[in-house]
Chains A and B, each alone.
Chain A
Amino acid sequence: MAEELLKLQNIYKNFGNVKVLKDVNIKINKGEVVALIGDNGAGKSTLIKVITGVHSPNSGKVFFKEEEVQIKSVAQSRKMGIEAVYQERALCDQQELYRNIFAGREITNSFGFLDIKKQRKEAEKILRDYIGFTSKAITVDSQVMGLSGGEKQGVAFGRSLYFNSDLIVLDEPTMGLSIQETEKVLNFVKGLKNENKSAIFIDHNIIHVYGAADRFIILDRGEVVGEFNKENITREELVQRMIQLHESGKIKVEE
């Protein structure tokens, strides 16, 4: 029996009068990669922002490691072991890599001054051991600006591994990446499973999703309308279902 890591129960989220999430129930087990799919405006981003503490739900319960929690801030979710990797917003462009890796979790003395030496040393380790960067062009002192999209994702992954996160949340991890870079990112995702880490990710590309995920959750207008394990659905069937959903507005779930 798989061990449960995160469970969302009856989650509702409104922005003013707009009901963005309606009675959402999902569960993620340890070592499992779950893909969240759905059209624009389905509520995918809002859902992961609830998980990472950017938004608080209007009602509903969140359980993490089988304990009820209220995630009020990003700092809190990170402390609990939930780490977000955002394609566009993973890192700050004009700052050095080592500063990016430790942003918001700086290694400091008791007066709040940074231990630059240690940060650089640890960052070096992350680049080498977790990400496997060997290029001489990229050092811990490089500004993020010069990195490619895949490299940025790599740094963000390395960061989450270093801080020993249990759940990694990925927002559109392959958007705008070349085929080669996409491959790298998907390998990172697969690599998580070996470490018994879980991941939840959003991606528009069902082909990417299919390759990397164990389970698919389909959202439509704020509701979960379908859930499939990979062994029960082929890629073609999944694509068919999405087209069906797009055309008819509902999904036929047969047992």
Chain B
Amino acid sequence: MNNLLNSYFVKTHKLEISITIIAVVLFLIYFLGAPHVFTRFPIYRAFMQSMPFFGIIAISATFVVTLGEIDLSFPSIVGITSLIFGIIMTSTDGNFFIAFILATSLGMFAGLVNGLLVTKIGIPSIVATIGTLFFWRGLVNVISQGSGIAIVDVADGTWHHMIFVEKLFGKIPMQFIWFIVLTGLMQWVYRYHKFGNHIHFVGDNKASAQMMGINVDNVKIIAFVQLGFFSALAGIFTMYEMLYFWPTQGEGLMLTTLAAVFVGGTSVFGGKGTIFGTFIGVLIIGSLESGIVALGLSGFYVKFINGLMITVAVTVYALIQRRKS
């Protein structure tokens, strides 16, 4: 046992192990407290259905947070890209390719704007992305004039609807499969690709990274652009699930998404993070609401317990970090 605790894997994966234990304990509580809900499949299907929408963004946002930056504008990027997706789908009689390419391009453009504001103009990311948060949502309101768009006629029953959100073997929502695949892919990029490596160095110490010949500005810009892309992708998933665009689409995503990243163990100070942790963070944050209600507590506890989880988690990580240095 002692040997196991001192092994290389345990030493280098403290955060991942702690967060996994927290998640296991949490699900044990659900399981023991509400066996009638948690021994049956439907609750898990519901989780698999709803988690990917913010989970995909959380995975992608982990890159930006590891840089020591933040992006608050993604809920509005989800809004504007979903709107464009809806408009093009309905006006082209369901041309998926054009709609997909334009929506994701717009998402990347929005990310590029964030990246340029942060690097070239030098606005702190928290301020710059508050600006673009309002800007893109405002544009959604102006274009949509407050009304929604139904894509049910052009999307329902199509092959693209099938690969995005229908159930595999009638049980597993496709968006969850995509979420797992993307998490794996992004984990690989995060740890083993040059880009992920540079993300770590820039987030750790910008000046050092620059001295080592890493193009700090480019790394940051690409990070914001990929988050723009994945925000658009999350918007498209939501569109297929709901078959409807509404002007506030994406607005509820901000806190859950960022909470998942921070609960997952990615350092607020930059330089250190974990995609796997974010994935577990998504499972925790995404299950709290149903879990709490299933346990018999009233819905009023949801935010309270959510807040408690986040505060405790980031405090523990900050203490681990401080003990190290």
Q: Are B194 and A92 in contact (CB under 8 A)?
A: no
A86 touches B211 (CB 8 A): yes
Smallest CB-CB A-B distances: 7 pairs: A104-B213, A75-B213, A92-B204, A104-B212, A89-B208, A74-B213, A103-B212
Q: Are A112 and B194 in contact (CB under 8 A)?
A: yes
Which residue on chain A has the smallest CB distance to residue B271?
A94
User: Is the CB–CB distance between B204 and A89 below 8 Å?
Assistant: no
B298 interface hit (Cβ, 8 Å): no
Q: C-beta contact mask, B266-288 vs A, less than 8 Å → 1, else 0?
A: 00000110000000000000000
Tell whether B159 is near chain A: CB-to-CB under 8 Å.
Answer: no
By a CB distance below 8 angstroms, the chain A residues around B214 are 103-104
Q: List 26 A-B contacts (CB under 8 A).
A: A54-B210, A54-B211, A73-B213, A73-B215, A74-B210, A74-B211, A74-B212, A86-B208, A92-B201, A92-B271, A94-B271, A94-B272, A95-B204, A99-B200, A103-B214, A104-B198, A104-B201, A104-B209, A106-B194, A106-B197, A108-B194, A113-B193, A114-B192, A116-B192, A141-B12, A145-B325
B interface footprint on A108-147 (CB within 8 Å = 1, 0 otherwise): 1001111010000000000000000000000001000100
Chain B 210-230 interface 0/1 with A at a Cβ cutoff of 8 Å (1 = within)? 111111000000000000000
Q: B residues engaging A (CB < 8 A)?
A: 8, 12, 188, 192-195, 197-198, 200-201, 204-205, 207-215, 271-272, 324-325
Count, A-B residue pairs, CB within 8 A: 79
Please, which residues of chain A bring their CB within 8 A of the CB of B205? Answer: 89, 92-93
Query: SS class of chain A's interface: helix, strand, loop or mixed?
Result: loop
Judge if A84 is at the interface, Cβ distance under 8 Å. Answer: yes
Residues of B within 8 A of A111 (CB): 193
Nearest Cβ on chain B to A13's Cβ, whole angstroms: 18
- Pairwise interchain contact A114-B204, C-beta atoms closer than 8 A: no
Residues on B with C-beta less than 8 A from A84 are 211
Nearest CB in chain B to that of A159: its residue? B212
The answer on a CB contact under 8 Å between B8 and A141 is yes
Interface string of A66-84 (1 = CB under 8 A from B): 0000000111001000001
What is the CB-to-nearest-CB distance from A195 to chain B, in angstroms, rounded to a whole number? 22
**Residues of chain A with a CB closer than 8 A to B210's CB:** 54, 74
- Inter-chain CA distance A85–B51, complex, in Å, is 47
A224 at the interface (CB under 8 A from B): no
Q: Assess the A145–B211 pair: CB atoms within 8 A.
A: no
Let me know if A19 is at the binding interface, CB within 8 A.
Answer: no
A141-160 residues at the B interface, CB under 8 angstroms: 141, 145
Instruction: Out of B193, B200, B208, B211, name the residue touching A112 (CB < 8 Å).
Output: B193
Question: Once bound together, how far apart are the Cα atoms of A112 and B195, in whole Å?
Answer: 8
Is residue A24 within 8 Å, beta carbon to beta carbon, of the partner chain?
A: no
| Known A116-B192, A145-B325; contact A89-B207, beta-carbon cutoff 8 A | yes
Give chain B nearest CB distance to A22 CB in angstroms. 25
Partner of A99, one of B197, B213, B215: B197
Closest Cβ of chain A to B84, distance in Å, is 30
Asked whether, in the complex, the Cβ of B200 is within 8 Å of the Cβ of A113, the reply is: no
Distance in Å: Cβ of B218 to nearest Cβ of chain A:
11
With known contacts A78-B213, A105-B213, A141-B12, A90–B194 Cβ distance under 8 A:
no
Question: Known contacts being A92-B204, A94-B204, A145-B324, is A103 close to B12, with CB within 8 Å?
Answer: no
B272 with A89: CB separation less than 8 A: no
CB nearest to A116 among chain B residues: B192
Chain A: minimal CB distance from B149 (Å)? 39
Query: Which one, B194, B213, B271, contacts A95 given CB within 8 A?
Result: B271
Is A242 in contact with chain B by the CB < 8 A criterion? no
The chain A residue with its CB closest to the CB of B188 is: A113
Q: Is A5 an interface residue (CB 8 A)?
A: no
Contact partners of A95 in chain B: CB under 8 A: 200-201, 204, 271
Contact A103 B271 (CB under 8 A): no
Of the listed residues A73, A74, A91, A104, the one surrounded by the most CB atoms of chain B closer than 10 A to its CB is A104
Residue of A nearest to B324 (CB): A145
In the bound assembly, the distance between CA atoms of A103 and B208 in angstroms comes to 10
Chain B residue with Cβ nearest A90 = B208
Chain A residue nearest to B196 in the complex (CB): A114
Chain A residues with Cβ under 8 A from B325's Cβ?
93, 145
Q: Which of A39-89 contact B (CB under 8 A)?
A: 52, 54, 73-75, 78, 84, 86, 89
Cα–Cα distance between A114 and B197 once the two chains are bound (Å)? 9
> Of residues A73, A89, A103, which shows the largest number of chain B Cβ atoms within 10 Å of its Cβ?
A103
Nearest neighbor of B269 in chain A, beta-carbon distance:
A94
A52 to B211 CA separation, bound complex (whole angstroms):
9
Given known contacts A89-B205, A141-B12, A75 and B215 CB-to-CB distance under 8 angstroms: yes
A206–B82 CA distance with the chains assembled, in angstroms: 65
CB neighbours (8 Å) of B212 from chain A are 74, 92, 103-104
* Given A94-B271, A95-B271, A103 and B192 contact (CB-CB distance below 8 Å): no
Minimum distance in angstroms from B101 CB to a CB of chain A: 23
Q: Which residues of A contact B211 (CB under 8 A)?
A: 52, 54, 74, 84, 86, 89-90
B11, closest chain A residue (CB):
A141
Decide: A103 and B193 in contact? CB cutoff 8 A: no
